[in-house]
Amino acid sequence: MTNTGNPQIATMIDNSTVDVTSIVMTIWCNITNDTVSCWPKEPARSLTILYGLKGVSPKLVERRCLPEGIWDGREVDGPQGWTNYTPCLIPEMIKLMERLFANSEEDAKLKLQVAEAIRVVETVGLALSLVTILVSIFIFSYYRSLRNNRTRMHLNLFVAMMIQMVVRLTVYIDQYVTRQNPGSKESGIESLPVLCEAFYVLLEYARTVVFLWMFIEGHYLHSMLTITVFSEPNQRMYFLLGWGFPIIHDGGLGGRHSCEAHRQQVLVGI
Q: What is the SS3 assignment for 119-166?
A: HHHHHHHHHHHHHHHHHHHHHHHHCHHHCCHHHHHHHHHHHHHHHHHH
Q: Is 3.40.190.10 the CATH number for 105-268? A: no
What backbone torsions phi and psi does residue 207 show, to the nearest 5 degrees?
-60, -45
CATH 1.20.1070.10 location in the chain: 105-268
Q: Which amino acid is at 185?
A: K
CATH 4.10.1240.10 location in the chain: 5-88
Q: With cut-offs at 50, 70 and 90, classify the pLDDT of residue 269.
A: low
Listed as own residue / partner, the contacts of 56-60 with beta carbons closer than 8 Å and 24 or more positions apart are 56/85, 56/88, 56/263, 56/264, 56/267, 57/88, 57/90, 57/260, 58/87, 58/88, 59/88, 60/87, 60/88
pLDDT tens-place string over residues 113-160: 888 899 899 999 999 999 999 999 999 888 888 888 888 889 999 999
Q: If one looks up domain 5-88 in CATH, what number appears?
A: 4.10.1240.10
Is the per-residue pLDDT at 212 higher than 60? yes
Q: Give the global pTM.
A: 0.65
Can you give the pLDDT at residue 135?
A: 95
pLDDT tens-place string over residues 78-98: 556 777 777 777 677 777 777
- 3-state secondary structure at position 232: coil
